[in-house]
Structure 1
Amino acid sequence: MKAILLERLHADHYRYEALLCILDRQLHIAACEEVPDYSLLAQLFHYLTEQPGEWHHRVEDQLFKRLAERHPESHEILEVLIEEHRRIDIYGRELENKARNLGNASEAEMDFTTLSLARAFSELYHHHLHTENHRVFPMLETSLSAAELDNMELEVSLKTPAEGSPGFQKLYRQIAEGRAGLQLGAGEQADFCPLCDARPEGIPTP
């Protein structure tokens, strides 16, 4: 049986990956020299930075410490991941501010520097999630029992809301009601929204 704690972390990762996909689609719009949805971009950067900082990264940092005690050889990769937590926080906050400032300008196109930073943020995030999913979480499952993981004394509660949090629900509604997850630029739409599973008009949901 998988530990409840790891199930929660995996669920967070699934949600982050869906939001990153929508973020990447907005960055593609900017790369096409069109104006992306800056309000949505600001909300995406905010959630992808703030929610992990409130719960997810704090729990992972504790798990990584426990894993390093069991397997000292994992110390190097865990230190890299902890540093990536810090970089995600710094870049995300900076990009949220940039998106809000651009949104306040009239039809402002995203400048090359901001677009490059946003792409670097997304690439870092994708790589970070992949490393945790495929290298670190399996190590945790084989090194620590489900009972040990679920009985850890955490600095934050498992009851902390994730999908039910007001912040996520607001972002979900913004994406679902505006069908923003389908936008690709150049008048094109994706086949489906990775978050709310919306489809282009005329294409039924399977």
Structure 2
Amino acid sequence: MDAIRIVKDEHFAIAAVLHALRHQIRAIRGGASPDFPLLHAILDYIVSYPDHWHHPKEDRFLFAAVRRRAPEAEALIARLEREHALGYPMIEMLKRQLVCYEAGDEGAAEDFFATAERYATLEYGHLQTEEEQLLPLAERVLTADDWREIDAAFRENDNPLFGIKPKEEAERLYQRILELAPPPIGYGR
């Protein structure tokens, strides 16, 4: 089941970017100067990868297959789809707030920090729910044929919903974030 490994790998990358976002906010609140190129790269990554690549494939392939095989999972799947839908407007708001923050608008920094924290909390919870509830359910109820279709979709570099190759762009953005972000002081901090 390549899809499960790919989903978990993608979750790891998303979590790393969210960690970089939270780390930046803590550093700024602690007196560091804002690293606006890094903050922009983080938001660009979130827009290009989770919202336009990762989530649509989950919705279209993984969630749809689980929904067909396990009607009792409808509430869980509906919740995960709502969370996908909530994320995009929050990112758009974060992008606008970051522009205002960078321009020095009064109160913009705290608005940005608060929205970023809400978004990160939503995403971390979402990733955890998928890994602890949805993926184990999928492993139990999906057939070999289901997995062949899902695996093929998740291995594919082209996004069938958009006809582009966002994975390559997301990888470039992810590498840029790693280059811009300061190294961690210690594990788990």
Secondary structure at the counterpart of residue 165 of structure 1: helix
1-side partners of 2:122 and 2:74: how far apart? 20
Amino acid at match of 2:78: E
Question: 2:123 — aligned with what?
Answer: 125
Question: 1:197 — aligned with what?
Answer: none
User: 8 Å contact 2:28–2:34 — kept in the other structure?
Assistant: yes
User: 8 Å contact 1:42–1:100 — kept in the other structure?
Assistant: no
- Pairwise CA distance, 1:107: 11
* Worse-superposed segment, 110-119 or 15-24: 110-119
Question: 2:132 — aligned with what?
Answer: 134
| 2:109 aligned residue (99, 104, 111) | 111
Question: 2:172 — aligned with what?
Answer: 169
Amino acid at match of 2:114: S
Say whether residues 1:23 and 2:21 are aligned partners. yes
Q: CA RMSD in A?
A: 3.0
2-side partners of 1:30 and 1:68: how far apart? 43
- Pairwise CA distance, 1:28: 0.8
Secondary structure at the counterpart of residue 111 of structure 2: helix
Change (3 A) 1:32 1:65: same
Q: TM-score, normalised by structure 2?
A: 0.81
Amino acid at match of 1:165: E
User: 8 Å contact 1:55–1:156 — kept in the other structure?
Assistant: no
1-side partners of 2:188 and 2:39: how far apart? 16
* Worse-superposed segment, 8-17 or 62-71: 62-71
Listed one character per residue, the Cα deviations across residues 124-179 of structure 1 (whole Å, up to 9, x for unaligned) are: 111000110111111111111354222259888712367x6134324413532x4x
Question: 1:75 — aligned with what?
Answer: 74
* Worse-superposed segment, 164-173 or 37-46: 164-173
2-side partners of 1:39 and 1:117: how far apart? 18
Secondary structure at the counterpart of residue 23 of structure 2: helix
Change (3 A) 1:192 1:96: farther
Amino acid at match of 1:142: R
Structure 2, unmatched stretches of 5+, are 159-164
Structure 1, unmatched stretches of 5+, are 183-188, 195-206
User: 8 Å contact 1:95–1:118 — kept in the other structure?
Assistant: yes
Higher helix share: 2
- Pairwise CA distance, 1:191: 2.1
2-side partners of 1:171 and 1:193: how far apart? 20
Question: 2:53 — aligned with what?
Answer: 55
Change (3 A) 1:22 1:28: same
Amino acid at match of 1:191: G
Q: TM-score, normalised by structure 1?
A: 0.75
Say whether residues 1:95 and 2:94 are aligned partners. yes
2-side partners of 1:152 and 1:171: how far apart? 24
- Number of aligned positions between the proteins: 182
- Pairwise CA distance, 1:31: 2.7
Change (3 A) 1:158 1:83: same
